[in-house]
Chains A and B, each alone.
Chain A
């Protein structure tokens, strides 16, 4: 099991500009527990940005191109699916080259039940351009 420090180094969450939340995944979680804890930490940081202005709507850019996802625990999927239900998050671009992750992300978005404006990209540049449209 990874330490909190190691987990906190496996992702970055930041606000960019006025209405963009950027989530970068740097490491792949191998265990069920780490996958869940990483998702909880990501959720906490996203909530802290959203709570700065609860009426503001954000776009989300998830960069998983540096991570070789092969596994995500069901608890982590549930956490991301709950996040995807939030009304404050409206448009999301996910960047990655991993087909397994693309399937997982599609299922998470479907499970959220929200009519998402969501798109998968293989390059960061195209994702950013789409978010700006």
Chain B
């Protein structure tokens, strides 16, 4: 008997892969600027714009210009005119910022 593979589920019924993002400020790693679950993280590196979504492969890169985090609620947290390093490992995203200026959200609200 043949099995119609097109009818098999390709994604989990349960949400098991979530991005957990923490933004650290270089020079004061004890304080984080943002921490929480996110839908995506977007920025630009030497190869161009990139987006990190859940289950993204592990990687490390140096980013420039803008960094945007879309929280699971849909709210955006944007860091403008920034430089730093981003590390993704097993859905855990660590962002180390050199300069930062939050333009679409203030830091107090970033964790909410």
Contacts and interface: CB of A to CB of B under 8 A. Distances in A.
A100 to B, nearest CB: 6
B98 interface: yes
Chain B contact-residue range equals 10 to 19
Nearest to B29: A110
Interface string B52-71: 00000000101000000000
B26 A120 contact: yes
B contacts with A: majority SS: strand
Interface string A90-124: 00000000011011001101100000000110000
B30 A102 contact: no
B83 interface: yes
A103 B96 contact: yes
Contacts of A100: 60, 62, 85
A103 B29 CA distance: 10
B98 A102 contact: yes
Contacts of A99: 62, 83-85, 96, 98
B24 to A, nearest CB: 8
Interface residues of A, number: 10
A106 B96 contact: yes
Contacts of B24: 106
Nearest to A109: B29
Interface string B23-38: 0101101100000000
A103 B27 contact: no
Nearest to A119: B27
15 contacts: A99-B62, A99-B83, A99-B84, A99-B85, A99-B96, A99-B98, A100-B60, A100-B62, A102-B26, A102-B98, A103-B96, A106-B96, A107-B29, A109-B29, A110-B30
Interface of B: 24, 26-27, 29-30, 60, 62, 83-85, 96, 98
Interface of A: 99-100, 102-103, 106-107, 109-110, 119-120
Given A99-B83, A99-B96, A106-B27, 9 more contacts: A99-B62, A99-B85, A100-B60, A102-B98, A103-B84, A103-B96, A106-B24, A107-B29, A120-B27
